[in-house]
Each structure stands twice: as C-alpha cells, then as structure tokens.
Amino acid sequence: MLSDVDAMALALQWAQKGLYSTSPNPRVGCVIVQNGQVIGAGVTQAAGQDHAEVQALKDAAARGNDVRGATVYVTLEPCDHQGRTKPCSQALIAAGVGRVVAAMQDPNPLVAGQGLARLEAAGISVTCGVLAAAAHELNIGFFSRMQRGLPWVRLKTAASLDGMTALHNGESQWITGPEARADGHAWRARACAVLTGIGTVKADDPQMTVRAVDTPRQPRRIVVDSRLDISVDARILEGGGTWIVAAVGNPEKEALLRAAGADIILLPNAAGKVDLPALMLELGRRQINELHVEAGAKLNASLIKEGCVDELLVYLAPALIGDAQSMFALPALDSLDQKYQLKFHEVTQIGDDLRILARCVPFKPAI
C-alpha cells in the first residue's frame, strides 16, 4: 500500500515534469490512487491548458479506471476559481473522488483555502501539509509573487576558487567545466526571465537563451540599460520579445528597438539609474515567478545592495587565477557587522566544480 508520503512523492515527480513549461502557473503534479494502485496521473500544462487534476482524471479515464471513492494526491491545493480554466475543485467533486491530499494551500488570494473548503463541503475528506517543504521549493517563485508581489531572484555566477569570474584582460571561457555550464542552462530554463546588464551585452554580445538542455519555451530576456546604449544588432534582441529597462528616454532609439521587437520599460531612480526595487515590482506585476540573473560585477552588486536578491547560485571551479575580475563590485566595509549575511542552502558537486545555493538572510519559507 502506498502511504500518503509515498503517493505525494510520486505527485511531486509529476510536478517536476512541468519545471520548464507551466509559468506563470505553478508546477503542480497529481496522482490518483485506488486500492493502493496509481490509476491516473498528470501535471499542469502550459497556461490556459489543463491543470494537473484534470490531466490525472483524463488519464484515469483513458486507462478505463473508475475514480469514484479514490484518493487524489496533489502538490498544491486545487483551484476554486474560474481563470483560464474551470475550477479543479469542482472537477474533483463531479468525478466523485473520496479523499484529497494536498501538499500545501495555494497562496493565490483567489484560492487560499477555498478549494479545500469546497471539497470538504461536498463531503470529500481533506488532508493538507504532506511534503509541504518540497512542494514549496518547487514553486518558490510562484509563492514569492503571490505573497510579496515580487519574483524570486536567483543570481548566478561562476568563478575560480579565489572568487574571480574572468582574467584581468576579460578572458572567461571557460572557468568552469561543461557539466556546470549545462547545469546553469537548466536553471535558466526553469526561470520565467533571464536578466543581464548593458555591460555584459557590450562585452560578450550574449544570446542569453537556453541551449544546453531541451526546453519547450525560452525564458523572457531582460536588459538593464539606463541610457539605452544597446545596439539594435545585439544578439539578445534576436527573435524579439526582449525587455529593455532604462532610466532615460530616447524616442528615436526606442522606436528602433521596438521595431526590433523589444519592449521599453522606463524606471528611473533619483540618481538617474534604473530603479531596481521598482523593476522587481514591475516584473511581479508582469507575472514573472523566477528571475535568473547573469550579469557583471557592478549590476550584481547593485542588486545585492538594493535588497533585490533572494538567492545566489555560485559555481566554483577548483582553480586559482589570481587578482582579476570579481563576482561582486561591492564597496569596502568598515565593520564585519555590515556584511551581507547568507545561509548555505545546498552544496553539490557538478562535474569537477561545486554548485552552491546560498540564500540571503533573513529568509523564511512561507509554509
């Protein structure tokens, strides 16, 4: 017999299948169990398509299985509102299931317990809180946007063991190995958007696309460019859809960039630079759940100083390259009391390199 924990672990495996495809919706998995056997399973599809519960019900029907009285395990509370799709709570009630086990309540104010309440009111037994921490991690960006109005901001950098991202002459390819680079692309792929700065665009002319892993969609590309210095021939504009965030308007240049398929966002601060906290709010408003940052030392430092970073994704190579270009152009501190405090969340070896996930303190999971 499958325990609640075992069945929810299977549902989380199904949710993982939506890692690159469900945004701005959360990644949700669902399995339906009858007499200790999985009789249906599903994962939330792209926005506007079936949620995990409906997929699982359809899967059970396709297999010829009767779901009446069955137990449904879902990694997030079934929705109870009419959005792009019909409420999942009502689909489960109509199907006649006997019990629903959810990993977590949905933080969306349109749901927030109402889905579970609807099920209970229909006589369905409800349990909530099974493997909640794992479910939260899978949708950390969705929870951030729902609860703070902000994306979960993950700043990625790769460096030598002495903390250098490039030689003094700018050479940086490649400090880390192929496994670490492919892993970095997987983190790009799961994000809703990838952000960089004009300094990186000018120096490297990057595409900022996902190439090392298969993905059904490319994340949005965003460039912080205070004075609209970007060339209309920059590779990051290829394919259209790039957002350029500036502090100073330039109607002629804006027209050229829009003709190249870009969108211009003007967000100046008092110093004539891009207002980074305001940008994070704007990205939350635009339904960005996870923001992946790959930028230079100056923009990295600005984001950290402005309190815009939630997590550092750092790849460290087992090499020393001497005094050169560092990860963060942070100012010198006069006291250790002023240090930016982090907490190691995960340390993993990827090929020959180390991958470190370090979260900015304070960080309190919303579970």
Rounded CA-CA distance 10/184 in Å is 26
CA distances from 334 to 220, 339, 341, 361 (A): 39, 9, 15, 20
- Contact status, residue 326 vs residue 172, Cβ threshold 8 Å: no
Is 137 an active-site residue?
no
Mapped onto helix, strand or coil, the DSSP state of residue 7 is: helix
* Number of CB atoms found within 10 A of residue 147's CB: 12
Q: CA 40 to CA 30: how far, in whole Å?
A: 8
Which amino acid, residue 288? I
Assigned token pair, 70: 């069955």
User: Which tokens sit at 333?
Assistant: 């501190």
- How far apart (Å, rounded) are the C-alpha atoms in residues 315 and 175? 9
**Tokens found for residue 83:** 């959005």
Distance CA 324, CA 300 (A): 16
Question: Which candidate in 53, 77, 290, 294 is catalytic?
Answer: 53
Contact predicate 187/313, CB 8 Å: yes
Residues paired with residue 316 on neighbouring β-strands, in sequence order: 159, 354
**Whole-Å CA distances, 41 to 13, 24, 76, 128, 355:** 10, 21, 14, 19, 33
| Active centre residues (catalytic) | 53
